[in-house]
Structure 1
Amino acid sequence: MTSSSDLPILRFGVVADPQYAAREPHVGMDRHYAGSLAKLSEAIDVFNGEDLSFVITLGDIIDRDFESFDDILPIYDSLKHENFFLLGNHDFSVADDRLADVASRVGLVSPYYSFVRQDWRFIILDGNEVSTFAPAPGHPRRDTAARRLDELRAAGAINAQDWNAMPSEEQFAWLSNQLADADAAGERIIVMNHYPVYPPNEHDSWDRERMITLLTAHRHVAAYFSGHNHAGNFGTIRGCHFLNFQGMVDTETENAFAIVEIWNDRMQVRGFGREDSRTLSLRR
């Protein structure tokens, strides 16, 4: 007989960067866009055989074209668990007149939000808010993004890339309030965003420094999960784990997804395919 102490507090599934499109592979980057339908179906078959609280996709559901959502979203209909999305840069590789429809197309009332499961708060960010691609042409946030990109380029920052972005000041303030509320409620926290912030990489969010400072100041923040850098990455600062999951779209035959198990003293990442398995200790 298995006691409750022998079971994790909760489990959830993670997918990063399916980046589906009905297009030929990019051989140089080893990205096989059309193959993500079969890979996602395989992952969902695994998820459906597990006792999970939810599954989340960490952005870049599609590679391009609004119509691509019509092919990949029905795959998620077979998922037996609660399903969450956040958005990545490629999700906005659509015609200008469809930019405002992207969030609602994947069922998001707001592109950033939070939810609580078993005294764990999951904070889901919209890392595209200040960018040169997600706001409608002429929107002030495009101008803000252009200025920020110029500043980073002038400073020689490795993440001064136009495929990166950052949350707005309003969203960053919301995040800070969410962290304070979770601290007051005694909840542990996992923050999720498409864009990584650590270890330093060319794919990092444009506001990586302030994000790291904020997250590591809160002892209840256990981890920051991201996609975007398809090679994956991992680092820890003062007990906060920064885990960048590998991209599902990469390689012709190997998949990449994970199941995360949360225990009182640790998180265990069970990787499938190219995704690494690892144990992450939790600070008290």
Structure 2
Amino acid sequence: MKKIWILFTLTLLMHFTQNLNAQTKSAIRFGLVTDIQYADADSRGSRFYRNSLAKLKESISFFNQQHLPFMLNLGDVTDRNPKDLDTVLSELNGFKNQVYTTPGNHDYSDIANNQALYKKLNMPDEYYSFRKGNWRFIMLNTNEVASYSNISGTWKQKEYEEMTRTIKERNGKNAEEYNGGISSKQLLWLENLLDLSQQKGEEVLIFSHHPLGCAEGLTALNDQQIINLISSFKCVKAVIAGHHHAGAFCEINGIPCIVAEGMVETEAQNSYGVIELHPAKIVLNGYGRMTSRTIEIK
């Protein structure tokens, strides 16, 4: 009788394992890094700039071992010097598949030509989207309207001034020189794209460098405008950002907002993740400082 019970238990365990493996294989899986912020410079406070290179190499090696079909980089590839970009890109190029990037505020340091930066980062445009299965990935550029992104004398300067004025009128704390926002043009693009995605029955993930909430003083300049728009579309399942190195999580207007921990922080502890998109949940498996999270899809 004991042998029969052991056999029955082993059969159940095998069935469960096969089921779990099948679910994992059917999920859309991809890597996530943010705020690498490499610099050939001495450490400052909790930021160990040179150490980011070895951390990035470790994460890329892991992603390759996991046979991930693509990875996302949420910006601040370098800290201050555009000459450091080639050094980081040589490591990123070690990933065997597609890297999708949106820039961070530090990436604009000493950059006079935004388009040259986007080309270097292998971005198809200043902001863009792509599709995997039934999932639409939207890569916002929350640096489009910012004091550091070469907007002086353009129509975007007026929008920047309006954003910062609005923040001050409501006593907000995010009108800082390291924060940026998206233009009225990008906002209209986003609205049209979300409308189309909803019509097609797509599920949407939105990515940006600056958070849209959860990180007081570090959010996008027109964070409320963006979140009010996207929360009117049921197809949006989560927003994932960087910029706030400590990481955070909150729900805004019913939308789960993840702020991923920055790689540059700490001398030795890494920060990267693997995200799995299942039919009923989004799973972030965090490594090092990156927090693991599971979000039920509503």
Mark yes or no: TM-score above 0.5.
yes
Instruction: Answer yes or no: is 1:223 the counterpart of 2:241.
Output: no
**Structure number with larger C-alpha Rg:** 2
Distance 2:29 2:124 in 1: 25
Paired amino acid for 2:177 = D
* 1:188 equivalent in alignment to 2:187: no
- 1:35 paired to 2:70: no
Question: Counterparts of 1:77-116 in structure 2 under 5 Å?
Answer: 77-95=93-111, 97-116=112-131
Report the equivalent of 2:188: 173
Helix, strand or coil: the match of 1:115? strand
2:231 is aligned with 1:213: no
**Cα distance, 1:202 vs structure 2:** 0.7
1:72 equivalent to 2:88? Answer yes
Partner of 1:46: 62
Q: How does 1:105-184 map to 2 (within 5 A)?
A: 105-184=120-199
TM, length-normalised to structure 1: 0.93
- Which of 34, 37, 43 in structure 2 is aligned with 1:16? 34
* Poorly superposed stretches of 4+, deviation over 6 Å: none
Query: Which whole-Å CA distance do the structure 2 matches of 1:238 and 1:207 have between them?
Result: 16
Distance 2:148 2:154 in 1: 10
Which stretch of the first structure deviates more once superposed, 196-205 or 268-277?
Answer: 196-205
SS in 2 for 1:148: helix
Matching of residue 247 in structure 1 with residue 265 in structure 2: no
Question: 1: distance between equivalents of 2:136 and 2:124?
Answer: 19
Which AA in structure 2 matches 1:9?
A
Q: Secondary structure at the match of 1:114?
A: strand
Partner of 2:3: none
Q: Note the residue ranges of structure 1 that are not aligned, 5 or more in a row.
A: none
Mapped partners of 1:256, 1:228: distance in 2: 13
Q: What is the distance in 2 between the residues matched to 1:190 and 1:6?
A: 19
User: Residues of 1 paired with 2:267 and 2:192: CA distance?
Assistant: 43
Please give the alpha-carbon distance, in whole angstroms, between the structure 2 residues aligned to 1:73 and 1:162: 26
Aligned length: 280
Question: 1:109, CA displacement in angstroms?
Answer: 2.9
Q: TM (normalized to structure 2)? A: 0.89
Distance of 2:26 and 2:283 partners within structure 1 = 9
Residues in 2 aligned to 1:109 and 1:276: alpha-carbon distance in whole angstroms: 30
Calculate percent identity across the aligned residue pairs.
Answer: 30
Residues 12, 158 of structure 1: CA spacing in aligned structure 2 closer, same or farther, 3 A cutoff? same
Structure-1 separation of matches of 2:241 and 2:24: 29
- Tell me which protein shows more helix as a share of its residues: 2
Of 44-53 and 137-146, deviating more is: 137-146
The CA distance in 2 between the partners of 1:236 and 1:143, in whole Å, is 31
Question: Does the CA contact (< 8 Å) of 1:18 and 1:248 recur in 2?
Answer: yes
Instruction: Give me the CA root mean square deviation.
Output: 1.7
Residue 237 (1) aligns with residue 252 (2): yes
Tell me, in whole angstroms, the C-alpha distance in 2 between the residues paired with 1:150 and 1:6.
Answer: 48
Q: 1:147 offset after TM fit, Å?
A: 3.9
* Residues 73-121 of structure 1: per-residue CA shift (max 9 Å, x gap): 01012101211110110000124x3444211111123120110001000
